[in-house]
């Protein structure tokens, strides 16, 4: 039997949901925050996910559940209850100070890759490598806040809606929709569409601009949720600035074909938001003793896996040259998932 990658399964499920949606001539969905979104007292009463969406909230949650099952079948989830309970409590604290309209959940994946991602319907995942990389609870809370922002904005299904409407704009009026294949972003992203003869690359550029706007909005709302939860919002900026190290290949990608705004632009916008609407608050949380215990526990679990269980008392053992503490987490590199960074 031929095996399929998790990404392929995710794309297949997304295609099935999209193809069954009610498609009409709609204006493109928008994700840019408005001036009214600067009112911190209105958080939780705003509908930041408003706009055109081919998915109802119920359908979005059902889609997310299917995608989550695909991810968890192909990932190694952390089974340690101390760490997973801590991360979930942190997530729920931020969700209580957000605009999310669906319940959110988080699972921890055993991976040294410094990243995390969010699926439709409020399903978040963070890697152990990310938890070990952050310098304090506020940095981890900031990453989770961005994920909750994507959930509140309904970013994934709005992007799917945008892509579907743009595809329909290219269909000849004489062609039946039932014969038009649904095109989704594959491993090569929109750049892979260059292989389709006659495909209008202006559509790719427009779609990627929509994705960049989505990331800017996630920065905006994520900082608000972080601040409202009692954390120092500048911690998220420090983490991004310290850890985000684009690869040489990524640096060569023209901005028009990038999924993210340039990091200096993101940091400048976030600094302006903090100065304008997030005044200094005494006692803002930077880290906690519990967070440090969780990091220490993860390091101990990782070392135990490499070195093995403790030797039985009185029984001689040999220490191999390779039995040395593991190196630190690798630098953050961008990927093609709807990630939390």
Count how many Cα atoms sit within 13 Å of the Cα of residue 30 in the half-sphere of its side chain: 6
Residue 245 inside a domain? The answer is: yes
pLDDT in tens, 152-181: 999 999 988 887 776 666 544 433 323 222
Count how many Cα atoms sit within 13 Å of the Cα of residue 180 in the half-sphere of its side chain: 20
- Residue 117's pLDDT band, with cuts at 50, 70 and 90, is very high
- Its sign, for the CA torsion 73, 151, 247, 239, is negative
Q: Looking at residue 180, what is its pLDDT?
A: 26
Residue 77 inside a domain? The answer is: yes
The total domain count for the chain is 1
Residue 164 CA to residue 324 CA, distance in Å, equals: 51
Residue 189 inside a domain? The answer is: yes
Domain that holds residue 188: 6-277
Q: Looking at residue 206, what is its pLDDT?
A: 72
Least confident of 111-120, 212-221, 256-265, 324-333: 324-333
Residues 6+ apart with CB under 8 A from 324: none
Assigned token pair, 193: 């569409």
Distance between start and end Cα atoms, the chain: 36
Residue 160 CA to residue 121 CA, distance in Å, equals: 13
Residue 308 inside a domain? The answer is: no
Residue 333 inside a domain? The answer is: no
Residue 221 inside a domain? The answer is: yes
Residue 82 inside a domain? The answer is: yes
Q: Looking at residue 65, what is its pLDDT?
A: 95
Residue 120 inside a domain? The answer is: yes
Q: Could you tell me how many helices (H) and strands (E) the chain has, helices first?
A: 11, 3
Average pLDDT over residues 317-326: 48
Say yes or no to pLDDT of 6 above 70: no
Assigned token pair, 19: 């193809």
The pTM for the full model equals 0.75
**56, 191, 234 from 61: Cα distances, Å:** 9, 29, 32
């Amino acid at each position: 039997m031929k095996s399929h990658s998790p990404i392929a399964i995710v794309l297949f499920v997304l295609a099935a949901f999209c193809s069954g949606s009610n498609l009409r001539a709609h204006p493109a969905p928008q994700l840019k925050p408005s001036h009214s979104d600067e009112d911190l007292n209105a958080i939780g009463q705003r509908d930041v996910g408003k706009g055109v969406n081919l998915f109802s909230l119920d359908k979005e949650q059902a889609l997310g559940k299917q995608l989550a099952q695909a991810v968890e079948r192909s990932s190694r989830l952390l089974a340690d209850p101390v760490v997973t309970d801590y991360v979930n409590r942190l997530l729920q604290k931020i969700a209580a100070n957000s605009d999310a309209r669906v319940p959110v959940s988080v699972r921890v994946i055993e991976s040294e890759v410094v990243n995390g991602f969010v699926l439709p319907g409020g399903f978040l995942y963070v890697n152990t490598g990310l938890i070990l990389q952050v310098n304090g609870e506020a940095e981890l809370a900031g990453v989770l806040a961005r994920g909750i922002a994507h959930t509140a904005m309904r970013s994934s299904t709005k992007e799917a809606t945008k892509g579907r409407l743009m595809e329909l704009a290219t269909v000849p009026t004489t062609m039946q929709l039932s014969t038009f294949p649904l095109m989704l972003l594959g491993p090569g992203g929109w750049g892979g569409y260059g292989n389709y003869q006659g495909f209008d690359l202006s559509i790719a550029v427009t779609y990627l601009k929509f994705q960049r706007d989505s990331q800017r909005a996630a920065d905006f709302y994520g900082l608000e949720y972080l601040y409202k939860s009692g954390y120092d919002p500048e911690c998220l900026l420090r983490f991004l600035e310290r850890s985000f190290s684009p690869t040489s290949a990524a640096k060569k990608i023209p901005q028009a074909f990038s999924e993210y705004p340039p990091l200096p632009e993101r940091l400048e916008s976030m600094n302006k938001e903090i100065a304008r609407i997030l005044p200094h608050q005494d006692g803002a949380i930077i880290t906690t003793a519990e967070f440090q215990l969780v990091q220490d526990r993860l390091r101990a679990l990782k070392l135990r896996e490499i070195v093995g269980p403790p030797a039985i008392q009185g029984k001689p053992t040999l220490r191999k040259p390779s039995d040395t503490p593991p190196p630190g987490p690798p630098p953050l590199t961008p990927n093609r998932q709807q990630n939390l960074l």
